[in-house]
Structures are given as structure tokens and as C-alpha cells.
Amino acid sequence: MQRLTTFIRIAAAMLLSLTAAPGNAEERPNILIVLTDDMGFSDLGCFGGEIETPHLDTLAAGGLRFTEFYNTARCWPTRATLMSGRYTNKLGPSQVTIAELLKKAGYNTGMVGKWHLGMDPKKDGPVQRGFDSFYGTMTGAGSFWDPYTLTRNTEAAEPDGDDYYYTDKIGSEAVTQIEDFVKSDKPFFQYVAFTAAHWPLHAPEKSIQKYLKRYEGGWDQLRKERYARMLKMGIIDKERWPLPEREPRVNDWKTVDHKAWHIRNQAIYAAMVDHMDQAMGRIIAALKRTGQFENTLIIYAHDNGACPEHLSGNGWNTANNILAKAKQEGQIVAVGDQYNVPMGGPLTYGSVGHNWAHAQNTPMRRYKSNVHNGGACTPAIMHWPSGLKTKPGSITAERGHVVDLMATCLELAGTTYPEKFADKTLEPHESKSLVPVLTGGSTDRNHAYLFNHSGTHAIIRGDYKIVREGKRPWALYNLVRNRTETINLAKKLPQVVEDLSEIWEARWGEKN
């Protein structure tokens, strides 16, 4: 029996090497994609921020930083695009996910955190889309003390313990998955989707107090300090990254009332990012403890830029559970800009709003939901000790996009994108592998990246980017010379605008 079992294992390994990978399964890297929520371009310490993020900073010091890595400018389209390798707002039957394809290629798969691609965990949740295990939330936001639509695999779940805090729990659940993964000899694909630092502003009080003094100068001073720090660190330069003028809606800090309330909100935000980094520290420690760190590719990015939104009512249907519980107990939840209520606790539901978001996005223009770089360009970190061929701590000028993670994962897993999956014909992917960048090479700069969200449109190809807001004409920027989109070249280079706009129309125009 033992000989027969051994023979079966050897035969299976040989078959896998022929169909799924260039070598044995053990030689393929583990892949960990980490996505955070509604964070600004300069929030992390390794990108010029003042928030304490030592674990991510260490990954950056040993890995590769992208300053031109794109998303779709909003949470659910970014997640759908990342998972499917197509520019899309949802996962439909003609799309397949990275998890589904890597699972078929012999990977263990697991997800922790925010799904936001379907509300029914028994019908359109992560388990139906290729993940062996899932702990997280189905919807786009919710209380960090009592998460809305909390789910384990396909069943509703409740917070466990009096000290429950969702970000911390995401970290511990990710660790548990890693410990389960290593019980087999398969590589693993893990997707960790933090809700930090998406509203509502919730964090343990001790962590909030840690940051209160740091923001007493207000958002104008914070923006200047971050910009100066980024210049000093060599992340940006003044010539190609001029600091844009203040966004039209942003108030002068000197004229603002309720300063203590505003300061506390940014301190809560910082504490939320801090806890996310602490969770990353526990995940990294688990990878090291289990011997997986060296051959795990960690890809870190944001789903969109900083969030300018202000809340009211039920927080776009995300606070329903805590509003109902509070009503039953005769309590009231303070939703939105209620200046007489300090934010951060379980009975609050607020946001930082556009003023602080402007500083969080330093030095970019606009915010979440707009496809200028403040909405659609995220910092990214890639770390892979046994596979990364670039100098540790490097900052690359290469481009990437969440849409590229499909092709990247498939190449590393040694598998391909099929024409059919589960007897359904698939739409072709629109993904470009970033493996050449990881291995010290480059990618095709004339590859076009496309953006279409909430009435804002863009195309990036070569040195140029066109952007259109609503019914306004296309603006044109040279991203090599002007990364912060302050000089509109549309009138000087109309042919470039026409050429790029034709690409957009071919994908999303009225005829399509």
C-alpha cells in the first residue's frame, strides 16, 4: 500500500509539472496579494508619511517600490479588475478569478477581509470563486467593532471577544490560513484585503492618543511636511512632481472651526493604518516561522486614493447592523460630521473627509472616484527574497496596474489563461505580466492602460495620459515630465489626444 501511495504521489507530481508549472510545485512561489482601502499616496513611511508603518517599510527596504502603479479609482471595480484580469465593475459568468485558476494549477487558496464582489456568500462569495477558505465581510464597509456582513466561508459570523477589532482579526485569520497552508506541500495563493483605512473612523483609544499631537498643525502643514520628506527620500523630485495647487473644496486650515475634532479624526485614521501595519507584521512573522517567507511574493497596493466622502444616514447601507442594535438598546450612533461627538468609538460613524484626504494624497491631484492620479495611482511594494532580481530598496520607473496581477500570477504559477472554465466560454484577459520587472527587466511602455469610472475617463500609453471629467474635453499630461498632472498639453498636441481617445472609444465608446 505504501509503495502504491508513493507511486501515485510521484505520478501526480509529474503530471502537475507538465500541465501547470515549469518545475515541481514546491519550486513555484507562494503569492500573497495585500490590498488596503481608501489610503493616500503618501501615507506609508516608505512613501514619505509620518504614520508608523515599520513592517511595510521593511518590506520596501528589502523589495521593490512602484510609484506608478494604478487601480480603477474605486473599491469594487479595483477588486473585480484585480481578480479577473479585465477592466470590469463586477465578476460575471464569463470571467474567471486568479484564485480559480491557481487552485486548478495546484495551489492552496485563501482569502481574508473585504470581498465587495457579491453579497450572498452561498452564491457569489469567495468560496464560489476559487478560495478554499474565507473570513471577512461581503460588503464594502462597516464597523470595525462589529463588521457588517461578517462571514466565515459561507456562514454568517459574529465578532469573538470583547477586544475584537476587525483589522487585528484580519491579521490573525491570515496567520491561521498560512499555518494551515503549510500542512501540505502545495504552494499557496492568499488574498488579504484590509478595510483600513476606509471609513468609519474606528480605532482603539490608546492608538488614537499616540497620534493626536502629530496633526495639530492641520492638513496644510501636513501636506508641506510630506512633500518635503518625499523629496528628501528621493521618492519624487520638484521638476517632475510639482506640488499642485490646493483642491478647490479644501479649506484653509487657519479658517476652520472645530480644530480639535478634525485633528482627532486624522489621528484615528493614522491609528487605523498603524494597526494594519501591525497585522502585516504578524503575517510576515508567520511566513518566517513556517519557512515560507523566502519564496513568497508579497504584492502590496491600495484599491484607490484617499477618500473625500462625508457620511450621513446609514452610511450608504453599511451601518445597518449597528444602527439596529443601538436602537434596540436605546442608544444613538453619531453618523457623519457631528462636531460635538469625538469619533472613533463603536457608537460613531464618521470619515476624515476631503480636507485631510487632500493631504493624504500628497502630491497627487483629486481623490477616490476620479481617475486623475490622486484617485487611480497607488504606491505599491513587491517583496520576494528568492525571486526578486532588483536591488533591495529600489524604486522602479516601470508601470503596473491591478489588472496585471492575473498575468503575473499565472506566469509564476506556470499555468495559462484558458478559453473556457467550468464549461463556460471566457472573455479574454487584459492583463500584462509584471514578472519581467521583478526579474530586473522592463515591460512594454506603449502598452495602454484604460480607466472608466463614475464619469471620469483616462488612457495611459507611452509618455502620455489623457483624462476627461464628465463632459469636459480631454486633458493631456506628459507623465514622464509631469507626474502630478499640472500642465495640460491638449492644445499643443491635439494628435496625441486624438490617438489616445480612439483607444478609449474602441473599448467603451457608444458603439461598444
399-419 burial by CB neighbour count: b if 16+ within 10 A, else e? bbbbbbbbbbbbbbbbbeeee
The DSSP code sequence of 463-496 is TEEEEEETTSPPEEEETTT-TT-----TTT-HHH
Left if phi > 0, otherwise alpha if psi is -120 to 50, otherwise beta: which for 149?
left
Which overall architecture, per CATH, does domain 26-309+352-443 show? 3-Layer(aba) Sandwich (3.40)
Q: What is the pLDDT of residues 250-266, one digit of tens each?
A: 999 999 999 999 999 99
Whether the pLDDT of residue 24 is over 50: the answer is no
Domain ranges of the chain: 26-309+352-443, 445-512
Whether the pLDDT of residue 21 is over 80: the answer is no
What is the CATH class of 445-512? alpha beta
Q: CB-based burial of residue 154 (10 Å sphere; 0-12 exposed, 13-18 middle, 19+ buried)?
A: middle
**β-strand 155-156 against 394-396: which pairing, if any?**
unpaired
Query: What pLDDT shows up at residue 7?
Result: 38
Residue 486's alpha-carbon distances to 168, 365, 375, 466, in angstroms, are 39, 8, 15, 13
Beta bridge partners of 114: 137
Compare 96 and 14 and report the one with higher pLDDT.
Answer: 96
Query: Per the structure block, which three cell numbers stand in for 242?
Result: 510639482
Query: What pLDDT shows up at residue 59?
Result: 98
Q: What is the pLDDT of residues 154-166, one digit of tens each?
A: 999 999 989 999 9
Q: What is the pLDDT of residues 82-129, one digit of tens each?
A: 999 999 999 999 999 999 999 999 999 999 999 999 999 999 999 999
Whether the pLDDT of residue 5 is over 50: the answer is no
Query: What pLDDT shows up at residue 27?
Result: 85
Whether the pLDDT of residue 10 is over 70: the answer is no
Left if phi > 0, otherwise alpha if psi is -120 to 50, otherwise beta: which for 299?
beta
Q: What is the pLDDT of residues 408-458, one digit of tens each?
A: 999 999 999 999 999 999 999 999 999 999 999 999 999 999 999 989 999
The DSSP code sequence of 1-30 is -HHHHHHHHHHHHHHHHHHT-SS-GGGSPE
Q: What is the pLDDT of residues 269-315, one digit of tens each?
A: 999 999 999 999 999 999 999 999 999 999 999 999 999 999 999 99
Whether the pLDDT of residue 9 is over 70: the answer is no
CA distance 338 to 408: 45
Res. 13 pLDDT band, cuts 50 70 90 = very low
Contact yes or no for 174/283 (Cβ under 8 A): yes
**Residue at grid coordinates 477616490:** 368
Whether the pLDDT of residue 147 is over 70: the answer is yes
Res. 509 pLDDT band, cuts 50 70 90 = confident
CA distance 81 to 400: 13
Q: What average pLDDT does range 30-40 have in this prediction? A: 98
CA distance 22 to 161: 46
Q: What is the pLDDT of residues 290-300, one digit of tens each?
A: 999 999 999 99
Query: What pLDDT shows up at residue 511?
Result: 60
CA distance 168 to 177: 15
Query: What pLDDT shows up at residue 512?
Result: 55
Instruction: For the chain, give the mean pLDDT.
Output: 94
